[in-house]
Chain A
């Protein structure tokens, strides 16, 4: 008996040693510190988020390698306008949030000018883990920022309802219309909903954007004209406007009911959590708020359900994945702790760490592998040919605003298609 116990203990100890060994091996494979582990310094990351717990969790993980490095996140008030000032001031951060739309705008010149070229191979960043269409370099080949999160448009799907009613989650426009009809036939008043009170991330924008991008993606002339806000470019919008009209006519959405959703974030989520809406259009940003709002929804607490985020199939060829960068990080090239800032970036820019952080934040990971987070897994199944990035297409923000407003006005019935086509370039918020 004693012999057996001794043998069992020995086996357990051996297993423990093996598991410890393998754990260390995995950690070592993921990241190997290149600086003195006892380095003592402070690294400050600046951004516009009030909270950035996902990043703070990465700080803790980084501290496992560099315990004496004090990493802090600082929220900058009025971030977009202040980051330039902050970068030139006494509290200049070592790493800061940046956006690619700041390229070429004098107001944000500092934010680009202070950024280190992260494409420099000597930094050792594993950029290959990030989807190339959101990894945007400047004309001279420099990479001032790398995406930390990405964003897309799609719809939240109540998987339990689909399962319960025996309806398949749609992957083509035809299936979408059929699914909506099936739900309606089963007594669901709102098979599909979305925010409709404002044009920003309205259900119309979220639904038609992929379709619209697809229609102009390969037409450089169209892009050029659209960017020039030439009224004649409005014709390029017509197919999309007709599609949104058809979408509204096909009875998938009751705009009147959608108008009850007060905003494009909390209200969208809480309405979805009521549990009676099979599909709810949302942006990736909105999806990131679902986790924290579970506890705020009495309906969801009472009847929780499984849900996921899928692309909206507005074409019979299938859904299009609009891939956009969300939050990007730059390293302040004037940082007093530049080596350690780069070391942190080297630690962070890996498929595992970026996925961890995106999952914790509830946003889509910028990595090629989207399987880490089941919420966004459906986007990973979209073929490469149907993945589009506005930055890649080259549409300017101004053009996108015109398109967004045109779609919104047609969707809400405020304008006819012809009026919207003719009004391109003249729309304002």
Chain B
């Protein structure tokens, strides 16, 4: 309705403007047309003046002759002779004719003769009706156009009456002197000089309307008859028109013989008695209507274009607004759905935690039950924490404030961690799992390990989540050359045989809060944020993430990242010359393990089953060339790894060290394997450093390790000030720190913390863990106050926020206040230890 109204209003405005243009241009056109007509009238008047001058000039010649003839009392022959000798123009002539007989003499001989000068006007209806003024020189006296009887030319004659002496009777007789000018001569002179009036014509009529001179467009022998023939009129109107035209100067509009509208300008010829000059021109020659139509056309087209542009622009804006509204509505709905999901997802683990805590409290005496409850509480807690972390991450992603914190880390550890984390789920769902690495040369890389872990875990955990029990998951990690200097290209590929994704979902899967709608999926826990976070993080790290998926068949995610290589590498990993037998049914595994071992300097042989291995070992044993190390995969057809080991030990009686490898959680089989005779365990994938370390362990050589493993001695005796107002939180953090030999001292609020720092001796505290929301003085103000302390040590002490305010703006606020880091509650002690070590390392470097 509103749209229609707007269109109607627009159309009305356009119509109003166009009407104005039409009216105005019509008025301007009429005005211009009137001016043109006035100009045309003026031109006619000018032509009349020119004509009058010409007529008077010619008449004067005739007058001079007449006066002379009258004064000299000539005979006709004498008069003819006189005129013949007087006029010099070859194209004119003169006739002297007696008025009674209408016969006389011509100054030029008859056509085709040399001496026949006699002329007769008896049969020419001209002189009888001619009214001449007896007084010479008073007026112009001209005949109508007539046929000169001497030569047949259409001519005009300027006349005067003269008195001649009759040669025979010697009496005086009235005669008429005619100075004759051919019409063709006049026509050449008598044209409009103005080039724009090429179609204009002139005519001259006498008082009755008979033409004296006639333009080509003037029809009939009488102008008024011509007018009547082609224009609607009546006798009275014709009479009025006749009076008007013959007595005044002006113009009228009339039709010509073609029915074309013309302008007739008229003005009396003053030099004559009752003659009128007529100027005739087609009205179109004076009209400028075409320009107005052009103006109208241009304005119309312009307004139409404007209207259409406006309309389309409004429609476009409307469409965009609708889209935006839909998007906002969709986003709002997504967030509502998300909050609803979150509520559900948070309540679920919370329910487990609260419920299991209640159960544990009631079963305190039952150690096994309590441990089971605590284990489940821990699992639920971790899930809850994952949810909260995802919320934090997506908040950071959406605000564009997700920052990377690159550190030197071991990709081996990362992968081990990845496998360890996923193992319980894989085991629980009884999935077939394989993890291949290929050409992994560089162990230490420089990147944000936390985020890298998050990427890899997200993808792998999704594969595990969405693959139904009995399915298969295979992970491939490949090191390639990178086009970026100082980097390797790390390709991480996770393929599953899970439920797959629909093409529609593939298009939106990276959008926050989206989850595949599937009856099987709804039972799977998830925040709908994982892929969104993963993609953002991959892109933040300059990498790519690709996905190929088919519903019902499975999904393959490939993450490609260019990661800088850390300065430090274990360049000196070389084994003593050892013979190694690798036993696995997995060809890829066999090849990669053999390549890795050979690159470490070992000699390798491969067996594709336990039985084959038994034969090869026995053969070596009998020939006295036992292998130095045997590596056996756990899961193999026919006889598995433990049975193979058992038979090696029982049937061959060799002491060769045997390593059992598995892609699965081997804690369950550890005892059995040890009993069978395994000397050590290695998790797949088999990294170069892992193999190096394990083989060295087995052959009795200590490997060189860079990172201390489970060695927290560097933290012992450390003193940390913890600003925390909540007692329970204080208890948790102090207890956890104490587990690592760290001494924690409490400040109950911000003000207390500041006071403690002011009074503290230099070096009394290594750093401060600062809660944010505290009574009396919050953590932010306390930090600012500490940074303002005069003591340089005190004012520069590292301060780590330890707060439940976990959103990015909270982190930013903390850092802006002068803090050095941020740890979100609930605290992960590993993160706390890592943060402490980072701070210490930075202080050492500075």
B219 CB, nearest partner CB in chain A, Å: 5
Most central of A63, A90, A92 by chain B CB within 10 Å: A90
* Residues of the B chain whose Cβ atoms lie less than 8 Å from the Cβ of A90: 151, 153, 182, 184
Q: Which residues of B from 590 to 610 have beta carbons under 8 Å from A?
A: none
Q: Is the CB of A77 within 8 A of B125?
A: yes
For B153, the chain A residues whose CB sits under 8 A away are 86, 89-91
Q: What number of A residues sit within 8 Å (CB to CB) of B?
A: 27
> Which chain B residues (176-202) contact chain A, with CB distance < 8 Å?
182, 184
Q: Which residues of A contact B111 (CB under 8 A)?
A: 85, 88-89
For the complex, is B221 an interface residue (Cβ under 8 Å from A)?
yes
Closest chain A residue, CB of each to CB of B126: A77
- A70 at interface, CB cutoff 8 A: yes
Instruction: Name the one of A56, A59, A76 contacting B152, with C-beta atoms under 8 angstroms.
Output: A76
CB distance from A66 to the nearest CB of B (A): 14
Q: Known contacts being A77-B125, A89-B111, A91-B154, is A82 close to B220, with CB within 8 Å?
A: no
A51 touches B147 (CB 8 A): no
Contacts of B126 in A (CB 8 A): 77
CB < 8 Å: which of A60, A63, A78, A88 contacts B147?
A78
CA distance A87 to B219 in the complex (A): 23
Interface string of B364-381 (1 = CB under 8 A from A): 000000000000000000
Report A284-296 CB contacts with B as 1/0, cut-off 8 Å: 0000000000010
Task: Assess the B152–A82 pair: CB atoms within 8 A.
Answer: yes
Contact of B184 among A72, A78, A91 (CB under 8 A): A91
Q: Give the residue name and chain of the B residue nearest to A79 (CB).
A: B147
CB-CB under 8 A from A50, the residues of chain B are: 221
Asked if A57 is at the interface (CB within 8 A of a chain B CB), the reply is yes
Whether A373 sits at the interface, judged by CB under 8 Å, is no
CB neighbours of A86 from chain B (8 A): 147, 152-153
Q: Is the CB of A78 within 8 A of B124?
A: yes
Residues of A within 8 A of B219 (CB): 53, 56
A295 vs B146: C-alpha distance when bound (angstroms): 29
Residue of A74, A75, A88, A91 contacting most chain B CB atoms (<10 Å): A91
- In the complex, the answer to whether A53 meets B229 with C-beta atoms within 8 Å is yes
The chain B residue with its CB closest to the CB of A55 is B219
Instruction: Please give me the residue from chain A that is nearest to B147 by CB atom.
Output: A77
- Pairwise interchain contact B258-A91, C-beta atoms closer than 8 A: no
A81 at the interface (CB under 8 A from B): yes
The answer to whether A51 and B225 touch across the interface, beta carbons within 8 angstroms, is: yes
* Bound complex: CA A310 to CA B221 (Å): 31
B124: contacting residue among A51, A59, A77, A89, CB under 8 A: A77
Complex partner residue of A88 from B112, B182, B257, B258, CB under 8 angstroms: B112
Q: In whole angstroms, how far apart are the Cα atoms of A81 and B220 in the complex?
A: 23
Q: A78-B124, A88-B111, A91-B184 are in contact. Are A53 and B220 (CB under 8 A)?
A: yes
* Residues of A contacting B543 in the complex (Cβ-Cβ under 8 angstroms): none
Q: Does B624 contact A (CB under 8 A)?
A: no
The listed residue (A60, A63, A89) touching B151 by CB distance below 8 A is A89
Q: Name the contact of B221 in the complex, choosing from A51, A59, A85 (C-beta under 8 A).
A: A51
Contact A72 B257 (CB under 8 A): no
Query: Quick check: is B657 within 8 A (CB to CB) of the other chain?
Result: no
Contact of A60 among B150, B154, B258 (CB under 8 A): B258
The proximity string for A residues 144-183 relative to B, scoring 1 for CB distances below 8 Å and 0 otherwise, is: 0000000000000000000000000000000000000000
Mark interface residues in B217-257 (1 if CB within 8 Å of A CB, else 0): 00111100100010000010000000000000000000001
A391 to B146, CA, bound (A): 33
Show 10 residue pairs from A and B whose CB-CB distance is below 8 angstroms, ordered by the A residue. Answer: A51-B220, A51-B222, A51-B225, A77-B126, A78-B124, A81-B123, A82-B147, A85-B149, A90-B184, A92-B152
- Taking Cβ atoms with an 8 Å cutoff, the residues of A that contact B are 50-51, 53, 56-57, 59-60, 63, 70-72, 74-78, 81-82, 85-92, 295
Given contact pairs A70-B216, A82-B147, enumerate 14 new A-B contacts (beta carbons under 8 Å).
A51-B220, A51-B221, A53-B220, A60-B257, A77-B124, A77-B149, A82-B149, A82-B152, A85-B149, A88-B152, A89-B153, A90-B153, A91-B182, A295-B235
B interface residues with partner A (beta carbon < 8 Å): 111-112, 123-126, 146-147, 149-154, 182, 184, 216, 219-222, 225, 229, 235, 257-258
Task: Report, nearest first, the 8 A-B pairs whose CB atoms are least far apart.
Answer: A86-B152, A85-B152, A89-B152, A78-B123, A77-B147, A50-B221, A77-B124, A56-B219
